[in-house]
């Protein structure tokens, strides 16, 4: 574990570099338990099949409880590029909100959010299932466009017959 030189965007304490599942992340181990993932690291991390029983760093980070009042705080500032981060739902219908830098793609998890992500079934939908959901949505949109066009055509025909 080493100090990276960055301060925590949530509590301003020194961050430490830790390796979890062969991925280096910055973590606020001495205060709030937040975790910083550089662009796409969180997806590699959650896709890697986590065995938390053998990783002391992961055990420690999973032990943090969710912070109170994260929804009402000011926007966090990205510790890598200095712009304001945006808070959004991690995955649709997961109920987990994370902070993301839209400039560099980094993601900040407050203490307790990693545990919520790892234990939430909505997050673990496989890529194949997500691809199928996208195809189903695309098909529904195409069907809706056809239906709407047909309804408009019928209204037009009806209006023309009234005007004669």
Residues 6+ apart with CB under 8 A from 57: 1, 18, 19, 20, 27
- Give the start-to-end residue ranges of the domains of the chain: 2-124, 125-164
pTM for the full model?
A: 0.68
Q: How confident is the model at residue 160 (pLDDT cuts 50, 70, 90)?
A: confident
Q: In this predicted model, which residue has the larger pLDDT, 56 or 37?
A: 37
Q: Give the CA dihedral 35, 20, 66, 71, nearest 10 degrees.
A: 30
Q: How confident is the model at residue 39 (pLDDT cuts 50, 70, 90)?
A: confident
Q: Looking at residue 41, what is its pLDDT?
A: 85
Q: Can you tell me the mean pLDDT for 30-56? A: 77
Q: How confident is the model at residue 7 (pLDDT cuts 50, 70, 90)?
A: very high
Q: In this predicted model, which residue has the larger pLDDT, 92 or 145?
A: 145
Using the predicted structure, report yes or no on whether residue 3 has a pLDDT greater than 60.
no
**Residue the block writes with tokens 């760093």:** 57
- State pLDDT tens for residues 63-74: 777 666 666 678
């Amino acid at each position: 574990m080493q100090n990276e030189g960055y301060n925590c965007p949530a509590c301003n304490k020194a961050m430490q570099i830790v390796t979890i599942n062969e991925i280096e992340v910055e973590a606020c181990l001495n205060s709030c338990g937040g975790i910083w993932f550089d662009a796409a690291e969180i997806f590699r991390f959650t896709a890697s099949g986590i065995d938390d029983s053998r990783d002391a760093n992961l055990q420690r980070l999973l032990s943090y409880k969710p912070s109170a009042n994260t929804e009402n705080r000011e926007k966090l500032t990205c510790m890598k590029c200095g712009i304001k981060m945006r808070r959004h739902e991690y995955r649709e219908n997961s109920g987990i909100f994370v902070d993301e830098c839209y400039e560099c793609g980094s993601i900040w998890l407050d203490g307790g959010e990693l545990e919520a992500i790892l234990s939430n079934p909505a997050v673990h939908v496989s890529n194949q299932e997500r691809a199928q959901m996208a195809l189903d949505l695309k098909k529904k949109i195409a069907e809706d466009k056809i239906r709407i066009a047909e309804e408009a055509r019928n209204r037009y025909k009806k209006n023309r017959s009234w005007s004669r």
